[in-house]
A and B are shown apart, each in its own frame.
Chain A
């Protein structure tokens, strides 16, 4: 096995018009370094996949991007429009969502006692203005917004293929349906960049195929940039234009799926971390 190249690896070069740009991000928990000097950019309109063995720091990266964790070093900027830079570090999670980054969770976090459509409405309503007084009095604007929220939420459920499940409890949906509902809820907040944390985990092959189409449509029909964490290599290879590889918190490779698959450092990382739990989907790419 060859050692990784000497020059600094980043997933920034070649991105002219980034929608989000992470530079030299470091995150530590006591003795554990979850992210170490990670630099990465998502181009506007692309699907970028982040892969890596368990504990590599993928979810930590999402948590830094969405304000759940605050990195120790480094900067994160979001560019809602070309040239307009908004620093994200230190902002509250709800502010970041309102700026235009939405996410799903690796271990699904829906509002279980609410129906599917109510879950999505909460996302839509994060952009509305009705306050408590308007809500109590049901002022005209409140009614208007409520109707708009209903309509938009139905549209989104249709989009992810859950129209028929609109009035079922989130908890009563199947695993694959819950994953899609989480995506609908994230889309409802009108993001420019969608972060998906292992959306295919625990789904069956048919659901995986649906998911693949859904991610493509989000990218093409809605025009969103997508940052995708995924263990399923086939899914990654088929939807992502570029792949970034994390291992022990370090970015060890970045490039097209084919390039990454051939990269010796990547092969070593995956062989070194052979984890029986993850099965073949996690095995060394290629």
Chain B
């Protein structure tokens, strides 16, 4: 490829800007050319994937239909533009960074200011209260049964992955345990008097779904401790595999225990929340907004509690463990205990989400708890910025909003191509996530500068 890097002087230099084009072309390095090839290839690939598909009559329709003139030119131009931006970025990255340094300093000071943070929190809360009533039912449904529930899940997983640095790939299992706990305890001790239970098994006493919260939290706490105690001694990748297995085991057990869980048919007829304590009476119904407000309230409370936790002795201990487990232990931190704590706190948050989901939809089945959901929650955490609470909220909200928005714009089977492309671009240009936590951003900065300590999930070096 190197002959391209020095094109012969007799290029088509007849146009006005010929010399400058030639100068630019001459300055391209081998890796720039390779990147151009990559961009063009990606453009053709995307054009193919998003184009028409072939069938038995027209085997080549997928290719000819996707690569006809204006369409392919459009994609190639986008590829070229992407290449130009990437090349300019690699070449001027340091200048751009230096130029932006003062602005960044101001930004860091503003976003680090406590009152700005309070203000932002209140503003987002107000928006969350005022805007949804104006939305269409479709978007209200998205907010309640997807965004709200998954934001709660993401905040919980953020404690495990972001704060404590434990890679949990079976997180959705705790969501399942929360949901099925709700289904179980909202049943009746017997089927007399026309009582219908969501599950074939009957609880010792009937509980309104609202008061299932503490039971679900306890159930998830216990499940978290039971899973964590033997497995949290493992490091990094091993923990990921074990939790992944756990997630699948829970789902498959639910799926196969017909006589307890109704198997694949799921639990149905889970009642709506209602409060009936002394003078305080309220019944949730099919109406979506009351559920939304309940979710907003719970998310806000959990957000504040976890923020306090992050800036406490416990949060600092987690950071220490994430950074250097050996040094943390040598500083008197019981590492296993703190990891278990993070695991159990994450699990119980997940349980809360499960209860709300079960009560709002009234129906839960093993299909709600497939592996991809665990992975999606992890993606939301990473996208938002590991260890960052605002990041968890923003990451989950945005990444759930996007595919729903694309539903109207692109063919349904293509939606996740855009989703995936966004994640890839994000990880290249902003690996710390949208709103990185300060500590995490520093860790990534240190790792890039080569002083190590960022790979929170790596085992500490053997020799001391």
* A residues neighboring B (CB under 8 Å): 59, 62-63, 66, 68, 92-95, 97-98, 102-103, 105-107, 109-114, 118, 121-123, 125-128, 130-132, 135-138, 142, 145-146, 149, 169, 171, 185-186, 188-189
Whether the Cβ atoms of A59 and B464 lie closer than 8 Å is yes
The distance from the CB of B185 to the nearest CB of chain A, in whole angstroms, is 24
Report 22 cross-chain contacts, Cβ distance below 8 Å, ordered by A residue: A66-B330, A68-B326, A93-B329, A93-B330, A94-B329, A94-B335, A97-B331, A105-B464, A109-B330, A111-B319, A112-B443, A113-B439, A114-B320, A126-B333, A131-B314, A132-B309, A135-B308, A135-B309, A136-B308, A142-B313, A149-B313, A185-B331
Partner of A122, one of B305, B320, B440, B452: B320
CA distance A97 to B451 in the complex (A): 27
The distance from the CB of A108 to the nearest CB of chain B, in whole angstroms, is 9
For B442, what are the chain A residues with a Cβ–Cβ distance below 8 Å?
Answer: 112-113, 169, 171
Whether the Cβ atoms of A137 and B314 lie closer than 8 Å is no
The distance from the CB of B193 to the nearest CB of chain A, in whole angstroms, is 40
Of chain B, the residue at the smallest CB distance from A121 is: B316
Q: Which 4 A-B pairs have the closest CB atoms?
A: A126-B332, A135-B312, A97-B332, A109-B327
B317 within 8 A of A: yes
The distance from the CB of B214 to the nearest CB of chain A, in whole angstroms, is 14
Secondary structure class of chain B's binding surface, majority of residues: helix
Q: Which of A102, A113, A132, A137 has the most CB of B within 10 A?
A: A113
For B440, what are the chain A residues with a Cβ–Cβ distance below 8 Å?
Answer: 113
Of chain A, the residue at the smallest CB distance from B313 is: A125
- Bits for B174-209, please: 1 = Cβ < 8 Å to A, else 0: 000000000000000000000000000000000000
Whether the Cβ atoms of B330 and A102 lie closer than 8 Å is yes
For A128, what are the chain B residues with a Cβ–Cβ distance below 8 Å?
Answer: 313
Given the interface pairs A111-B323, A113-B439, A113-B442, the reply to whether A138 lies near B332 with Cβ below 8 Å is no
Whether the Cβ atoms of B319 and A114 lie closer than 8 Å is yes
The distance from the CB of A129 to the nearest CB of chain B, in whole angstroms, is 9
Q: Which of B309, B312, B317, B328 has the most CB of A within 10 A?
A: B312
B290 within 8 A of A: no
The distance from the CB of B17 to the nearest CB of chain A, in whole angstroms, is 47
B268 within 8 A of A: no
B324 within 8 A of A: yes
For A125, what are the chain B residues with a Cβ–Cβ distance below 8 Å?
Answer: 313, 316-317
CA distance A30 to B306 in the complex (A): 46
CA distance A259 to B199 in the complex (A): 82
CA distance A185 to B333 in the complex (A): 12
Whether the Cβ atoms of A122 and B314 lie closer than 8 Å is no
CA distance A102 to B331 in the complex (A): 7
- Bits for B79-109, please: 1 = Cβ < 8 Å to A, else 0: 0000000000000000000000000000000
Whether the Cβ atoms of A132 and B345 lie closer than 8 Å is yes
Given the interface pairs A125-B317, A171-B453, the reply to whether A130 lies near B312 with Cβ below 8 Å is yes
The distance from the CB of B164 to the nearest CB of chain A, in whole angstroms, is 12
Whether the Cβ atoms of B316 and A109 lie closer than 8 Å is no
CA distance A127 to B334 in the complex (A): 11
For A95, what are the chain B residues with a Cβ–Cβ distance below 8 Å?
Answer: 334
Chain B positions 435-464 with a Cβ under 8 Å from a chain A Cβ: 439-440, 442-443, 446, 451-454, 464
CA distance A118 to B313 in the complex (A): 10
Partner of A113, one of B308, B317, B319: B319
CA distance A3 to B7 in the complex (A): 76
Chain B interface size range: 35 or more
Of chain B, the residue at the smallest CB distance from A169 is: B442
Given the interface pairs A130-B314, A136-B305, A138-B308, the reply to whether A189 lies near B464 with Cβ below 8 Å is no
CA distance A77 to B251 in the complex (A): 50
Other A-B pairs beyond A109-B327, A112-B323, A135-B315, 4, CB < 8 Å: A111-B327, A130-B313, A135-B309, A137-B305
For B353, what are the chain A residues with a Cβ–Cβ distance below 8 Å?
Answer: none
B341 within 8 A of A: yes
For B332, what are the chain A residues with a Cβ–Cβ distance below 8 Å?
Answer: 94, 97-98, 102, 123, 126-127, 189
For B328, what are the chain A residues with a Cβ–Cβ distance below 8 Å?
Answer: 111, 122
Given the interface pairs A112-B446, A113-B442, A136-B309, the reply to whether A118 lies near B327 with Cβ below 8 Å is no
For A138, what are the chain B residues with a Cβ–Cβ distance below 8 Å?
Answer: 308, 312
Partner of A123, one of B323, B331, B341: B331
For A136, what are the chain B residues with a Cβ–Cβ distance below 8 Å?
Answer: 305-306, 308-309, 312
Q: Which of B306, B341, B439 has the most CB of A within 10 A?
A: B439
CA distance A171 to B448 in the complex (A): 13
For B309, what are the chain A residues with a Cβ–Cβ distance below 8 Å?
Answer: 132, 135-136
CA distance A128 to B317 in the complex (A): 12
For B443, what are the chain A residues with a Cβ–Cβ distance below 8 Å?
Answer: 112-113
Partner of A97, one of B312, B323, B330, B452: B330
The distance from the CB of A203 to the nearest CB of chain B, in whole angstroms, is 18
Q: Which of A63, A107, A110, A132 has the most CB of B within 10 A?
A: A132
Given the interface pairs A97-B332, A98-B332, A123-B331, the reply to whether A112 lies near B453 with Cβ below 8 Å is yes
The distance from the CB of A115 to the nearest CB of chain B, in whole angstroms, is 10
Whether the Cβ atoms of B312 and A146 lie closer than 8 Å is yes
For B452, what are the chain A residues with a Cβ–Cβ distance below 8 Å?
Answer: 112
Of chain B, the residue at the smallest CB distance from A135 is: B312
Of chain B, the residue at the smallest CB distance from A195 is: B330
Whether the Cβ atoms of A94 and B333 lie closer than 8 Å is yes
CA distance A169 to B305 in the complex (A): 26
- Bits for B331-348, please: 1 = Cβ < 8 Å to A, else 0: 111110000010001000
CA distance A149 to B454 in the complex (A): 26
Of chain B, the residue at the smallest CB distance from A188 is: B331
The distance from the CB of A58 to the nearest CB of chain B, in whole angstroms, is 11
The distance from the CB of A27 to the nearest CB of chain B, in whole angstroms, is 13
For A93, what are the chain B residues with a Cβ–Cβ distance below 8 Å?
Answer: 326, 329-330
Whether the Cβ atoms of B314 and A135 lie closer than 8 Å is yes
Q: Which of B319, B328, B331, B335 has the most CB of A within 10 A?
A: B331
For B324, what are the chain A residues with a Cβ–Cβ distance below 8 Å?
Answer: 109-111
Whether the Cβ atoms of A126 and B331 lie closer than 8 Å is yes
CA distance A66 to B305 in the complex (A): 35
For A94, what are the chain B residues with a Cβ–Cβ distance below 8 Å?
Answer: 329-330, 332-335
For B333, what are the chain A residues with a Cβ–Cβ distance below 8 Å?
Answer: 94, 122, 126
Of chain B, the residue at the smallest CB distance from A112 is: B453
For A171, what are the chain B residues with a Cβ–Cβ distance below 8 Å?
Answer: 442, 446, 451, 453
Of chain A, the residue at the smallest CB distance from B442 is: A113
CA distance A191 to B332 in the complex (A): 10
The distance from the CB of A200 to the nearest CB of chain B, in whole angstroms, is 18
Partner of B323, one of A102, A103, A107, A114: A114
The distance from the CB of B464 to the nearest CB of chain A, in whole angstroms, is 6
For B331, what are the chain A residues with a Cβ–Cβ distance below 8 Å?
Answer: 97, 102, 122-123, 126, 185-186, 188-189
For B315, what are the chain A residues with a Cβ–Cβ distance below 8 Å?
Answer: 135
